[in-house]
Structure 1
């Protein structure tokens, strides 16, 4: 009987927290915003990876539509993101006893401009960067590249989310 009481109390309190807006499980604070606009992120790095711009733009759009109730729009969004990929570089990270690279690091940096049309105090322009390490004996193609892109873009887009609407 006591267990049933605790279950019912948990369900009721969870419902109250969510419906009253006290806590959102996504952690996103979009205020009164209803729409989001994410412009295409041009690749302006010295080394160009053709599909990176499209993947970054799509990942950012997907993250916001999954974790908030915002509607994606192509113009006049309440929340507006624009920017460019500023760096795409591969650097050797550690050496073997034969003085060759044992591990390489792919680092991607993105400059982001965020405009909140409903609360201008939240606007910012900021650089976001992350990396992925892979064995030097492997080429950055196929599955290695897909894994690296997934890891990097997931982290960068989550950092952008946290900086713009996260309650951290």
Structure 2
């Protein structure tokens, strides 16, 4: 999962800026870690009338990334250990996580990468 995130992040920055990827002494440095991958029930539903049993109508997959950004040319917008998170709600009765995890994770990563981009270089 971390390799997927790293590659998507590099690709997004290369497509949306004139920056080049270098191994050392770059103008910008971005580093981070995937801190959380969690599932939680949302949108409870009830079945059974007065003696209802509650079930999760939807399940929420949440990913949280902790990132640091360093601009070696202008430190005005640098940040350290900033948290970015996003989620995807899905119905486990119709969309099994095991069959859709890759798609869900990519969708969440796309939003987190956009948020990292916007908080770092979008103000140029």
SS of 1:105's partner is strand
RMSD between aligned alpha carbons?
A: 1.4
CA–CA separation in structure 1 for the residues paired with 2:89 and 2:34: 19
How many matched pairs? 116
Q: CA deviation at 1:121?
A: 1.9
Greater strand share, 1 or 2?
Answer: 2
CA–CA separation in structure 2 for the residues paired with 1:95 and 1:54: 34
Equivalent in the alignment of 1:84: 33
Q: CA deviation at 1:114?
A: 0.3
Instruction: State the TM-score, normalized to the length of structure 2.
Output: 0.87
Equivalent in the alignment of 2:102: 146
Q: CA deviation at 1:77?
A: 1.4
1:77-125 CA-partner distances (Å, limit 9, x unpaired): 1100011111110000012223111110000010100000011222102
Choose which of 7, 15, 22 in structure 2 pairs with 1:66.
15
Unaligned runs of 5+ in 2: 48-53
Which structure would you say has the larger Rg?
1
Matches within 5 A, 1:29-44: none
Matches within 5 A, 1:1-168: 52-98=1-47, 99-125=54-80, 126-137=82-93, 138-142=95-99, 144-167=100-123
